[in-house]
Amino acid sequence: MNFSKTTLALGLAALVSATPAFATNIVASIKPIELIVKAVAGDKMNVSTIVPPGSSPHNYSMKPSQRRALEQADAIFWVGPDMETFLSRLLGGTEFAGKVVAFTEPSEGEPDMHHDHHDHHHHGHDHGDGEDPHLWVDPGMALQMAKAVHAKLSTLDGINISELDANLKEFEHSLHTTEQNIETSFKQLKGTSLFAYHNAFERFAEHYELDLAGVLTLNPELSPGARHIAEVQKQLRAANQPCLLTEPQFNRQWWRSITEGLNVTVSTWDPLATDIASTANGYIEFQQSIADAVLECLPK
């Protein structure tokens, strides 16, 4: 992460503070990041999000008005070039340097986004290096992201830092409780084989040590070929209690043709948190919503 180049901003702050109550402009690339920002900044913080409901960050193109929002932003948060490819050139350049935080862009001397699990919760998994950019579905990563948001927002003028501190503490606590409840509920899943539509589910599965038997496509924009479909069908047939986790952005017809004649449970989850209200508690609700979708896989 790059938190440098704030010196100029701090210099200007003296001038700006003479102006009464100006609003802080925060831009998030996608809804889950908006939720993490709200967890740290509180409900009242105005956060605008670039990728609108129903669109995929994998293939989005930005509107001119959104470029203006970026220009007016005090801080911009995005996952990084492997995720929001449409922002790579713009946010990777020098124009926005100093106000951009990328969660998958480790820089020298700065801690990487690999999180340590607490003692009670040590499952020794390694989150690897940036292969899968869907960081935010892993609650441990979400906490690290929240800490990075806190660090960035703390540098902005007009921010109440003790409020940020309290919010972050509250988030950490709620996240911890939610994680423990989810872990307990997942004990019932023994014997269920999960299949996911694209790799967005992988880090969640890894964090909770779920049995992820297959991922159908690594590129959600491409329809898989006939040979790949046949392979997946073979896996589904061989699996114990197979359950497919679909996503709302995904073509239902495709699932139907794959699961035809097979005894497969289908459940939908949304990695983009589309229906989650944008509040300080939104990320917690989102994390729980993924767990609830997984629990739909249990035999009735």
Longest CA pairwise span in the chain (Å): 70
Stretch that binds Zn ion, among 68-76, 104-112, 196-204, 235-243 (CB under 5 A): 196-204
Residue 9: name the closest of 99, 107, 100, 101 by CA: 99
Six-digit token pair at 176? 């911890």
Question: Residue type for 150, please?
Answer: H
Nearer to Zn ion, 74 or 270 (CB): 270
Counting residues that bind Zn ion (by CB under 5 A) gives 4
Nearer CB in complex with Zn ion: 74/202: 202
How far is residue 269's CA from residue 190's CA, in Å, rounded to a whole number? Answer: 20
Q: Which of 140, 232, 242, 280 binds Zn ion (CB under 5 A)?
A: 140
Interface pattern 197-236 for Zn ion (x via CB under 5 A): ---x------x-----------------------------
Tell me, what amino acid is at 266?
Answer: V
Sites for Zn ion among residues 144-163 (CB under 5 A): none
Residues 6+ apart with CB under 8 A from 144: 103, 113, 114, 115
CA dist., res. 197 & res. 264, Å (int): 14
Q: Which is nearer to Zn ion, 200 or 273 (CB)?
A: 200
Measure the CA angle with vertex 119, ends 126 and 134; round to 5°: 35
State the minimum distance, in angstroms, from the CB of residue 191 to Zn ion: 23
| Smaller CB separation from Zn ion, 77 or 208 | 208
- Which of these segments, 28-36, 103-111, 140-148, 278-286, binds Zn ion (CB under 5 A)? 140-148
Cβ nearer to Zn ion, comparing 168 with 210: 210
SS3 248: coil
Query: At how many degrees (to 10) do helices 139-153 and 282-295 cross?
Result: 170
* Interacting span for Zn ion (CB under 5 A) from 18-26, 134-142, 152-160, 221-229: 134-142
Sign of CA dihedral 63, 64, 70, 73: negative
Of 74, 84, 132, 138, the one binding Zn ion (CB under 5 A) is 138
Residue whose CB is less far from Zn ion, 41 or 271: 271
Q: Are 173 and 24 in contact (CB under 8 A)?
A: no
Question: How many alpha carbons lie under 13 Å from residue 8 in its C-beta half-sphere?
Answer: 7
Question: Which residue lies nearer to Zn ion by CB, 105 or 270?
Answer: 270
Comparison of 200 and 236: residue with beta carbon closer to Zn ion: 200
CB of 233 vs Zn ion, minimal distance in Å: 23
What's the Rg (C-alpha) of the chain? 20
Q: How many CA atoms lie within 13 A of 281 on its CB side?
A: 6
212's CB contacts (< 8 A; 6+ apart) are 194, 195, 196, 201, 202, 205, 206
Is residue 38 near Zn ion by the rule CB under 5 A? no
Min separation Cβ 212 and Zn ion, Å: 14
Site string for Zn ion, 92-131 (x = CB under 5 A): ----------------------------------------
Binding site for Zn ion (CB under 5 A): 138, 140, 200, 207
